[in-house]
Amino acid sequence: MLSKARVKDLEKQGYRFAGSHTAIKVCIWTKKALKDEDVCYKNTFYGIQSHRCVQMTPSFCDTMRCIWCWRDTEFTNIKWDFPIDNPKKIIDRCIEEHKQYLKGFPGNPKTNMKKYKEAMKPLHFAISLSCEPTFYPRLPELIDKIKKRGMTAFLVTNGTNYSMLKKLLKHQPTQLYITLPAPDEETYIKCCSPLIKDGWKRIQESLKLLKKFKRSTIRLTLVKNENMIEPEKYANLIMKAEPLFVEAKGYVWVGRSRLRLELKNMPRHKEIVEFAKKIAEFSDYKIIDNKKESRVVLLMKKDFKGRIMKFTT
């Protein structure tokens, strides 16, 4: 269970709890979208409407303490010791907490009121806020219930919980992300300080499952002078996994990560683009889009014959 001090600290950071092991946090891009200032890169790439997106996590357990994490990783625990909340209640409470957080926006003259009214009826769940969401034992049910409500479910995992990903083959999220944190095991151990001995092996097993998901993405969180090295090795791992998309995203110097890294570790967008080009050179992926404000580049399989569906509603 989370201590009272830990809960208080998270609430100061903007988290709102929606059960014993679930929390939401309104994304900065949701706030910007409501004021017509900008949108999230998922809005740009996939059509996810930033002002109608709920960012949440159903778990506060994790298997890694990555140097780029904005959280205080000293609290990271791999033991699930929470009562297991009902998926329906999680969805209801997440939406309610999300709406409560946004209640002050009508008082801001910059708020687009049409978007605000739409925001009260969310369309998207980003299961990616914090820690490792696949620890939640009833995750397949949660995803099914989100989709049955006509909403999308984008799930981000670090790939170390292979058994849960295997279960999700029959309960597929709208889009599955696996974060590939390093080009090799040595760099992984250095950058991620894993709390399990076989983390790299588990990630490789999870990557093998990607081609069985309808929409899959490998995400690279690139830290200059740390894991932003050897693009040919990343390309090799990507080619074996065959995701539909690859997102090369630059680390941002925010939160507690500033205690572990320096400003110089944050790559510029131009550097991310150049690194993505090198991955493309060593693979059968091509750059199809990028968003400078988010320091992210999107690559896709060159031989993809289908239509890239965008989730506009």
CATH number, domain with residue 149: 3.20.20.70
**Within a domain: 253:** yes
Digitized pLDDT (tens) for each residue of the chain, 313 residues in all: 677 777 787 778 778 988 889 999 999 999 999 999 999 999 999 999 999 999 999 998 889 998 888 777 666 677 777 889 999 999 999 999 999 999 999 999 999 999 999 999 999 999 988 789 999 999 999 999 999 999 999 999 999 999 999 999 999 999 999 999 999 999 999 999 999 999 999 999 999 999 999 999 999 999 999 999 999 999 999 999 999 999 999 999 988 889 899 999 999 999 999 999 999 999 999 999 999 999 999 999 988 766 677 776 5
In a domain, 20, yes or no: yes
> pTM, whole model, 2 decimals?
0.93
Q: Is residue 151 part of a domain?
A: yes
Residue 306 lies in a domain: no
Residue type, 91: I
Nearby residues of 27 by Cβ (< 8 Å), 6 or more positions away: 40, 50, 53, 55, 126
Q: Judge whether 170 lies within some domain.
A: yes
Strand order across the 124-127 sheet:
16-17, 23-24, 53-57, 124-127, 152-157, 175-179, 216-222, 245-250, 296-301, 285-291
Establish if 28 belongs to a structural domain: yes
Total count of domains within the chain: 1
* Domain housing 30: 4-301
CB atoms within 10 A of CB 83: 8
The helix (run of H) or strand (run of E) holding residue 292 is none
In a domain, 311, yes or no: no
pLDDT at 145: 98
